Structure 1
């Protein structure tokens, strides 16, 4: 019996520690690169073009338990979701004021409250893909276009996907190069790396909202049903809930539960990023964003505006890491993860 139990333990240990295969597959006709873990969905880099989306994004992002942590609307509406901010799709990277152009709010459903001019980010190529055991890498390029469709910035982004047991990780390193002219990122709260979360990961709320059914039909609801709504922000500096907004932190962790799966979703800043540690543009209604270039806005004028200027021909790099953990992520473990991430170049 002891020998049998020993064999079973060794088999279980081998199963849990086995390196999972991360596979990248480029569907050029469908304009996406799918990312799977042992054949199951993890995420996809999608670039349907400006008639659908004004920037490439990762959508959806799926936990090890098979639950999407990102909102479905407007791409794939789910019952009970909010139908606000149509430019909030999956996980994206852009900014609200680049040489006077609004890249953040641009969408095909942009409202009259956003005056523009708007900028658009257009995918230009898949430079390389590498699948592998426990790790995969995707390198893509894009142009940041002004209102006249002339490129201001050239972007080269490296996505590194990792898996370890019930933890999935996405590292995003974006290199932005100014082209013919200097490019200024004016101090603006709308930025920069962001996710729009599934309804279950929002903070509970009692405010009237607008919801959509599975067919995308919007309905005004006077009071919110908070059944199953479990989200809560926690920052590296000990700030929690809605108070995280407008504070600096090395990382912010969002905890919650979807379909019985406890989740910890963490976004980490990198010490080499401009404005480190970043300010957080994180909202209880489901926007989870970090913005390193708006100190004046987030400090209510206590800090000087950054108005970061990138000279023509020069480049700047932004590095972030997203961790999607099934189960708990204690603060000590997140600090250790942040330290490991800080060593990456």
Structure 2
């Protein structure tokens, strides 16, 4: 019997082209997540099938570890390039809002959120110093990264010891980041005084901002104001949608279990979602989400969000911990439906 070279015999059954098709299909779904550590450049690149997804970075002039840039499965950046790699047509306000980060505006009186807003370390600015990569685990469809960091005041004293576990997940045209961060009050009692300036944030690409016709004047935590200038709306397509059905800029200060920022970057449809977790403080969280491109979940700023009707001022007792869990979903090619986002959010809630 003659057998063609491209055929395989298994239990007397000849399998030909179907094997190639099956392998190709599996290859599309089973994407390999790997890490490339580069201490000299102070970063760890997160690669999916050899292509950059994001980098965990700790630049000296950003004053906190960040994920930057965040890329869709196509390689399209969904985060703003400024200030590390400015792109034409971007806003250049709020220099401290870089990539994706977790910090807060008033920690024992020190500003961790706005540090660097003056182009250098602020006088009252707290810094989150990366201290180590504890573990990197490559995987098929998912890889994990464990890091440590120290929240220090302007005098160099540690207030909080941070341990973070990242899970980077690749599912076809969808990219997911799960972050589980535990903060231990290592330097005595820590108070997170209520402020809107927090805390799990992303500064998005210009195309995902909400169209705006006017200047926006923002009141800052220090009592001053920042004016975000109006710009051309050409190619600006973003809109917010919450799990509670609130849309547009009305989502600011509202509570929701997830928030979707959807729009188009060129011809590419993008959904960028942040999901809260039922075990988190203040679940479902409040949202510090602005049309000019700031997208943040803030469980601490109750007084600002309720216009003084309620107050939290969360305290972490000396030696005790607070754990925060968030999921980022980046989908390319389609705008996710509520049902799809609910499924991803339910999966996240059950996983951790």
Q: TM-score, structure 1 length as denominator?
A: 0.90
Separation in structure 2 between the aligned mates of residue 194 and residue 223 of structure 1, nearest angstrom: 22
- 1:154-206, CA deviations, whole angstroms, 9 ceiling, x for partnerless residues? 00000000000000000010000001310000011100100000000000112
Count of matched residue positions in the alignment of Structure 1 and Structure 2: 327
Over 3 Å off, 4+ runs: 3-16, 220-223
SS at match of 2:340: helix
Match of 2:220 in 1: none
Match of 1:270 in 2: 277
Residue 173 in structure 1 maps to residue 143 in structure 2: no
Are the structure 2 counterparts of residues 128 and 252 from structure 1 closer, same or farther at C-alpha, using a change threshold of 3 Å?
same
Match of 2:315 in 1: 309
Are the structure 2 counterparts of residues 343 and 177 from structure 1 closer, same or farther at C-alpha, using a change threshold of 3 Å?
same
Q: Is the 8 A contact 1:46 1:56 kept in 2?
A: yes
Shift of 1:75: 0.5
Q: TM-score, structure 2 length as denominator?
A: 0.88
Match of 1:184 in 2: 191
Match of 2:34 in 1: 23
SS at match of 1:334: helix
Residue 33 in structure 1 maps to residue 44 in structure 2: yes
Separation in structure 2 between the aligned mates of residue 295 and residue 307 of structure 1, nearest angstrom: 8
Separation in structure 2 between the aligned mates of residue 140 and residue 115 of structure 1, nearest angstrom: 25
Match of 1:214 in 2: none
Q: Is the 8 A contact 1:101 1:116 kept in 2?
A: no
Match of 1:215 in 2: none
Match of 1:44 in 2: 55
Q: Could you say what the CA RMSD is over the residues aligned between the two structures, in angstroms? A: 2.2
Which of 1 and 2 has greater Rg?
A: 2
Matches within 5 A, 1:195-206: 195-206=202-213
Matches within 5 A, 1:230-309: 230-303=237-310, 305-309=311-315
- Unaligned 5+ segments in structure 2 are 1-14, 217-226
Match of 1:319 in 2: 325
- 1:82-137, CA deviations, whole angstroms, 9 ceiling, x for partnerless residues? 010000000000000000000000006259xx985211110011111011111000
Shift of 1:5: 9.3
SS at match of 2:26: helix
